[in-house]
Structure 1
Amino acid sequence: MKLIEGMQSAMGLDRTGWARHANPWSVYTRYSVLPLFVLAVWSRDWLGWGALIPVILVVIWARVNPHLFPPPASTRSWASRAVMGERVWINRARVPIPQAHAKWALGLSVLNGCGLIPLTYGLIAKDAGWTACGMAIILIGKSWFLDRMTRLFDDMSDHDTYRDWLK
């Protein structure tokens, strides 16, 4: 839990940051981070050590993205509910969640982690097939995880802690 809280802090995801990140534009544009990161790493063939510049730019993009958009007028969209579900998931030590949701979230997190294996190999070996395989596993896993987070939020949205998040 300390790792997750540290990541939230590093990303500046306080209450206001989470509200802005719940904007569907923030959610959907974050899907660009992994492909841009892969492209930045692959650019080492053309840029040499200069490839660090696009890598750093992608890291900056990932960091500022949740803050670029205003809070959404409505939080009833799939993307907004996915972000709110992530917040519920992160808060599970304070407000317990149904066990089935915890199992799904952990399993899909493992799936995402498994995608790092072919992705890393593909990036090191400059193998487009392994890189694409890793990206596909991660992006499909992340999308599936977000879908499960919408269900988690829907199931927990009547709790006093979360009731006012839906507008």
Structure 2
Amino acid sequence: MDIFKASERLMGMDEATWARHANPISVYTRFTALPLLCAAVLSRFWLGWWALVPIALVLVWTWLNPRLFSTPTHTDSWAARGVMGERVFLNRHTVPIPTHHIRWGYGLSIAAGLGVIPLLWGLWIGDLAWVITGLALSMGAKTWFVDRMTFLYDEMARTHTEYAAWARRAR
């Protein structure tokens, strides 16, 4: 099973949602999801079972975020190209991508996953230092992943008209 495709299906991403998620506001506000989820989980120490309310709100925010903003007027930004690169990466079984992009994608995803280990430990014991360490590792690797996806998109758009057609240039 491809964890990347499973995540896409879980989020219910379709063409229109991907186009809206390419809005830089969507991308940058999406970076709030994991820290907010951590805060919501940690709130169990003072809210008890009521912590399920902020957890549910963060999960709704995570699902709603790529749908909330309009499609960008242009896709020249780092954020938009990163989102389009993620789409290219997800489509790698249909349209092959260069091996070095696959290695970067998997390597950075593994690094982000490894960051979840101290994060989960910190959430379990309520230690903010572990949580922040895990957040820094996980979000740092995810940000680097998005950055690498800009290179993937740029390279693939030069040779595949379908990918090039996603671009909208600033006027």
Matched residue, 2:110:
110
How much does 1:5 deviate? 3.2
Gaps of 5+ in 2: none
How much does 1:6 deviate? 3.7
How high is the TM-score relative to the length of structure 1? 0.96
Identity, in percent, stands at: 50
Give the Cα–Cα distance (whole angstroms) in 2 for the partners of residues 151 and 2 of structure 1.
Answer: 22
2:162 match: secondary structure: coil
How many correspondences in the alignment? 167
Give the Cα–Cα distance (whole angstroms) in 1 for the partners of residues 36 and 140 of structure 2.
Answer: 17
Runs (4+) of structure 1 exceeding 3 A deviation are: 1-6
Within a 5 Å distance, the mapping from 1:1-167 to structure 2 comes to: 3-158=3-158, 159-167=160-168
Instruction: Provide the aligned C-alpha RMSD in A.
Output: 1.1
Letter in 1 for 2:167: L
Describe the superposition over 1:54-83 as per-residue Cα deviations: whole angstroms up to 9, x where unpaired. Answer: 001100000000000010000110000000
How much does 1:3 deviate? 4.3
Gaps of 5+ in 1: none
Give the Cα–Cα distance (whole angstroms) in 2 for the partners of residues 137 and 86 of structure 1.
Answer: 20
2:161 match: secondary structure: coil
Give the Cα–Cα distance (whole angstroms) in 1 for the partners of residues 10 and 106 of structure 2.
Answer: 22
How high is the TM-score relative to the length of structure 2? 0.94
Give the Cα–Cα distance (whole angstroms) in 2 for the partners of residues 18 and 52 of structure 1.
Answer: 29
